[in-house]
């Protein structure tokens, strides 16, 4: 891990990790990937100007952001950004992609530098979510859209395990649960309290990946799963109705 100021929270560093290959390309997660695309298409408008992708990793989601003049991929791990550059630029010069290795708690950009932002599969690594959300708000223009994904502790599997005494932590209480070092699940109401405190307004919600269960993924064709996913996602339009393991929020900078 690279050095960082002592007052900053710890960072989950993917330097040298084969996460893209092991988890996504060979991990049997085509349903999860496509479910996130369903949420993206439903929530995130075709943009313009400059987009900041926080926690971009190897650029799995990057080509799916349409209309932006420039996309800045930000990640703490330089090795992940090298993978992203290889996949996206393919040796070409003058593409719309820029690559920045930096800490999301201290974004190296001036105030109001971006027209939009995304943070997908990243907040769950943040020990201080409010701090990083405030930093995202700082670099966004007023009115800019921000697509945020987080891992929810109040999902059906966790509730069942809690009720059958197979886990000790309570999925209904507001505090985060750290199920592995720097891997957190958050309660929906707590996340929405943080985004409001950071200066965002919630515009829309989607409950994502309800069918993230290996036997079901083996039983049903991908097309059937995605059809069910489209129906299930709209049930998460209210905070009280979010019971999925992943939640997408469309936010607007105030």
Q: Check residue 2 and give its pLDDT.
A: 52
DSSP 240: G
Q: Out of 22-31, 54-63, 167-176, which region has the weakest mean confidence (pLDDT)?
A: 22-31
What average pLDDT does the segment 50-64 reach? 97
* Contact (CB, 8 A) for 77 and 58: no
Query: Measured at the alpha carbon of residue 35, what is the angle toward residues 80 and 233, in degrees to the nearest 5?
Result: 135
C-beta of residue 209 within 8 angstroms of C-beta of residue 32: yes
75-118 per-position pLDDT tens digit: 999 999 999 999 999 878 778 999 999 999 999 999 999 999 99
Residues in Cβ contact with 102 at an 8 Å cutoff, skipping those fewer than 6 apart: 74, 76, 108
Q: Rounded to whole angstroms, how far apart are CA atoms 23 and 80?
A: 14
User: What's the rounded Cα separation, in Å, for the pair 211 and 228?
Assistant: 8
pLDDT band at 55 (very low <50, low <70, confident <90, very high): very high
Q: What is the mean pLDDT of residues 33-58?
A: 96
Nearest to 59 by CA among 38, 39, 33: 33
> Which pLDDT tens digit goes with each residue over 7-18?
899 999 999 999
Q: Number of C-alpha atoms within 13 angstroms, CB side, residue 14? A: 28
Q: What are the start-end ranges of the E strands in the chain?
A: 50-54, 70-75, 97-101, 116-119, 145-151, 177-180, 183-185, 200-208, 246-253
Segment 136-149 shows an average pLDDT of 98
Task: Please give the C-alpha separations between residue 51 and each of 31, 57, 114, 198, in angstroms, as whole numbers.
Answer: 26, 15, 6, 19
What are the structure tokens assigned to 235, written together?
Answer: 């049930």
What does DSSP assign to residue 152? B
**Average of per-residue pLDDT across 49-70:** 97
H-helix or E-strand containing 1?
none
The two structure tokens encoding residue 212: 């993230």
Token code pair at residue 109: 């950009």
pLDDT tens track for 156-211: 999 999 999 999 999 999 999 999 999 999 999 999 999 999 999 999 999 999 99
Q: How confident is the prediction for the chain on average, in pLDDT?
A: 95
**Domains of the chain and any CATH numbers:** 19-253 (3.40.50.150)
pLDDT computed for residue 5 by the predictor: 61
Is the pLDDT at 226 greater than 80? The verdict is yes
pLDDT of amino acid 1: 43
């Amino acid at each position: 891990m690279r050095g960082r100021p002592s007052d900053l929270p710890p960072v989950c560093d993917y330097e040298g990790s084969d996460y893209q290959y092991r988890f996504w390309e060979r991990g049997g997660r085509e349903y999860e990937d496509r479910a996130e695309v369903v949420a993206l298409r439903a929530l995130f408008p075709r943009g313009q100007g400059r987009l900041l992708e926080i926690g971009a990793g190897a650029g799995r989601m990057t080509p799916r952001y349409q209309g932006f003049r420039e996309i800045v991929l930000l990640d703490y791990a330089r090795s992940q950004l090298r993978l992203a550059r290889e996949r996206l630029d393919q040796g070409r010069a003058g593409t719309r992609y820029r690559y920045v290795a930096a800490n999301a708690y201290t974004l190296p950009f001036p105030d109001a530098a971006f027209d939009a932002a995304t943070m997908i599969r990243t907040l769950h690594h943040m020990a201080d979510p409010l701090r990083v959300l405030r930093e995202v708000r700082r670099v966004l223009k007023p009115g800019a859209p921000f697509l945020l994904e987080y891992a929810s502790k109040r999902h059906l599997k966790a509730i069942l395990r809690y009720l059958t005494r197979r886990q000790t932590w309570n999925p209904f209480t507001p505090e985060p649960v750290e199920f592995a070092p720097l891997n957190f699940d958050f309660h929906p109401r707590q996340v929405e309290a943080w985004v409001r405190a950071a200066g965002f307004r919630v515009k829309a919600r989607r409950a994502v990946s309800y069918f993230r269960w290996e036997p079901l993924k083996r039983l049903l064709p991908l097309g059937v799963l995605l059809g069910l996913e489209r129906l299930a996602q709209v049930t998460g339009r209210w905070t009280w109705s979010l019971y999925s393991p992943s939640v997408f929020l469309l936010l607007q900078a105030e």
